Amino acid sequence: MFSQAPSSPSQPVDRFGNPIDASVGYARGDIIRSSVQEAMRLRQGQRLATARVLAKGPESIAVFTGNQRDFPIRPDDLAGLCEEWVGPGIIANELNAVAIEHMGGRSGDQVAVFNRTSAGIIATIAGLSDGRPVVSFVPRGGRSHASVIRGCGICGSKLIEIDNLQDLHSAVGKSETALVVITTVTSSLESLDAHDIERAVEVAQRSGAIAFLDDAYGARIRPVLHGGRKGLEFGADLSITNCDKAGLSGPRAGVLVGRPAAVTRAQAKGAEFGMEARAPIVVGALRSLQRYSPGMLLEEARAGKELSEALAAKLGPRVARSDLGPVVDENDVLAMLLERSGAPSTSVVPAEAAAALGMVLLRDHGILTTNTHGQPGARVSLRFKPTLDALPRMGGVPAVVDAVLESLATLAPSIGDADEVAELILGASQ
């Protein structure tokens, strides 16, 4: 028996019987009990990365989170455009033009930049829901981003999560919905097809609700990798994307584009919460959009496909193949570790097993993943989305695959020892 605690008959459980925390979509354990321990895990990942850089240099770290996290401002931007009072006004027209084009918007649309895409989503929900229900439409097998769940919690709106059009019609029609959040591509890269996006927008607007696309990945994956439309070309009222993933180089920021009245309300709520992007981030977002090339995303996708094929050749069907790289479900991570250890059971839950494996990958091989550096509530599956220089830094695809196999072998003997796993995830001062 692997479960941490008994679950109620109606509560979903993971493959090992552990009750799933609905707010994050995975089981909590005795090590990672809440967002507090997730923050501690992030600090431990930062300590391991720092130690490796000090010992071996910055080239010893390869980023596989899919987030490039550059800061592409120019030297001459610092003197004027990054100045807080005047700079944002000077670049406003330039930013509007490039952001609206990037998102497929209309000439009269408005743009707002937030310090994170999550911040933009929360601010939009808080600013536009009016305390009424929010419907979240997600791909089958996917789930809403944690920011959607937390945004509804902050403003006291009921969240209704739907993964099919038939239920979406019913939910929107019965709930006096203020806002429909349409997640076109999840963080695990499950995606909606064009028909579902188009119909979801129509259903939302026909009911009088605002159609809001969470297009963090989809803004580029859909048109570049699948020949589809840009987000606002579906007729949605609002769309938000992330400035440091899927072909955009950074900085970390969320760019919201859409109907002026709705953008203004979201922007105002973001300012109330301190979620707005300050001038240097806004300038960085502008430069990121200006330097964007579909070729960057195509190269990321090519590298991810090559890595997926090589890892699947070693680990078999447990490796799922996304548009940007391989994914191994956290339940499969724990199963592989138990198989290698020979242990009949463990008190460690799948999310903790994946976090521990991430720490070994980082400490021993310099592979940085969201399992060590993801924010609280982020997906806990083992995901490899190589940034542009990640594979060359590691020495190529075979070296990454070998690192995964070696890390599984390194961690397996400890998987039955919760104290040892806790120290690995949280550090000795836990």
Give the predicted TM-score (pTM) of the model.
0.87
Cβ atoms of 239 and 263 closer than 8 Å: no
Residue 24 has pLDDT above 90, yes or no: no
Residue 148 has pLDDT above 80, yes or no: yes
pLDDT of 80 reads: 87
Question: CB neighbours (10 Å) of residue 271?
Answer: 13
d(CA 376, CA 383): 16
At 93, the amino acid letter reads N
Read off the pLDDT of residues 386-395 as tens digits, 9 standing for 90 and up.
Answer: 988 899 999 9
Read off the pLDDT of residues 376-415 as tens digits, 9 standing for 90 and up.
Answer: 777 899 999 998 889 999 999 999 999 999 999 999 999 9
The percentage of the chain sitting over the pLDDT mark of 90, rounded to a whole number, equals: 73
Residue 312 has pLDDT above 50, yes or no: yes
The mean per-residue pLDDT over the stretch 328-344 comes to 94
Read off the pLDDT of residues 276-287 as tens digits, 9 standing for 90 and up.
Answer: 999 999 999 999
The mean per-residue pLDDT over the stretch 244-268 comes to 94
pLDDT of 9 reads: 52
Average pLDDT, the chain: 91
d(CA 78, CA 23): 40
- pLDDT confidence bin for 174, thresholds 50/70/90: confident
Could you report how far apart the first and last alpha carbons of the chain are, in Å?
27
Question: CB neighbours (10 Å) of residue 305?
Answer: 16
**Domains by residue range for the chain, with CATH:** 20-66+295-426 (3.90.1150.70), 75-291 (3.40.640.10)
For the range 2-9, what are the long-range contacts, defined as Cβ-Cβ under 8 Å and sequence gap of 24 or more?
A: 2/345, 2/346, 2/347, 4/28, 4/29, 4/30, 4/347, 4/349
pLDDT of 90 reads: 93
Structure token pair of residue 183: 């997640």
Read off the pLDDT of residues 251-260 as tens digits, 9 standing for 90 and up.
Answer: 999 999 999 9
Residue 270 has pLDDT above 70, yes or no: yes
- pLDDT confidence bin for 3, thresholds 50/70/90: very low
The mean per-residue pLDDT over the stretch 87-110 comes to 95
| Residue partners of 317: CB distance under 8 A and separation at least 6 | none
